[in-house]
Amino acid sequence: MRLILAALFTMTAGLSVAHAAAQQQCETLAKPVETKIASLPDMKEGKPSAQDCARASEVIKLYTSYKSQADGMNCPFAYVGGQKIGGATERAELLDDMKQAHREKCR
């Protein structure tokens, strides 16, 4: 009986470590994308400059690559208090919104 309990404890601890490692990988993958998105100017007001549009285009390309990798790793859209929130659907919606805003403002 002790052997079974020890094995269950070890499996549970292993799953916790694996979950923490997966969360760390997902957060590490997202960090450069979040930084780039945060650095973009607010494009709600007026027509953005050509430089701002070029930077937005670069971020869209970066996010497209990130989305592919994050979807492949089954990363959530975000972690809130250690809990997974959303995933591939939310990333796809954000990418579509980014592309739509770029088309409307930069063309």
What tens digit of pLDDT does each residue of 42-79 get?
767 778 889 999 999 999 999 999 999 999 999 999 88
Residue 22 confidence (pLDDT): 85
* Domain coverage including residue 36: 25-106
- Total of domains in the chain: 1
Task: Determine the Cα–Cα distance for residues 61 and 25; give it in Å rounded to an integer.
Answer: 21
> pLDDT (tens digit, 9 = 90+) per residue, 4-47?
433 334 333 343 445 577 889 999 999 999 999 888 877 677 78
The pTM of the full predicted model, rounded to 2 decimals, is: 0.75
> pLDDT (tens digit, 9 = 90+) per residue, 75-84?
999 888 878 8
Q: 56 CB contacts (<8 Å, ≥6 apart)? A: 40, 43, 48, 98, 101, 102, 106
Query: Residue 18 falls within a domain, yes or no?
Result: no
Query: Residue 16 falls within a domain, yes or no?
Result: no
